[in-house]
Amino acid sequence: MPRDRLELLAEAHRRKKRFASMAEEDYIEVIYELEKSHGYAQPTDIARILGVTPASVTNMLKRLEEKGLVEYRRYRNPKLTRRGEELASRISRRHGMLLELFLALGVDEERANIEAELAEHFLSDETIEKLYMFLKKCMETRD
């Protein structure tokens, strides 16, 4: 028997606790993109892109280092560890699938990127995969 709406609402709110890691994912994603485009990620660039203070960046980099996601030393640029790169790659893949879906729906590219950035944190891997498979199936039948 399916759970009632109130039970599902309570479950959704319990799952919001996972979004505490959303900020960490944002940092990992920004470091990943900066490393790809510039070869390095300066803390000042991370602060500018995320709209946070340099002190916030330093605190988060320390936390990410403790979790084994970045290598960080004071006054040096952070670098993603293998584990951090794997997480960044997963986030990037999720973003790419959502972006492709939104563009196929006719959403303009700028808005599609912003919406994909937001949705990538809130939808499960399973849901994103199913949406993407649905898109591919629709595209096949259209051809």
pLDDT at 1 over 70: no
CATH class of domain segment(s) 82-143? mainly alpha
pLDDT in tens, 5-20: 888 788 877 776 665 5
Share of the chain above pLDDT 70, in %: 94
Helix/strand/coil (H, E, C) string of 52-68? CCHHHHHHHHHHHHHCC
CATH class of domain segment(s) 16-80? mainly alpha
The pTM of the full predicted model, rounded to 2 decimals, is 0.83
Domain range annotation of the chain: 16-80, 82-143
pLDDT at 107 over 90: yes
pLDDT at 104 over 60: yes
**What pLDDT score does 6 carry?**
84
The average pLDDT across 32-61 equals: 96
AA letter at 92: S
Q: Report CA dihedral (126, 112, 88, 138) to the nearest 10 degrees.
A: 40
**What pLDDT score does 18 carry?**
61
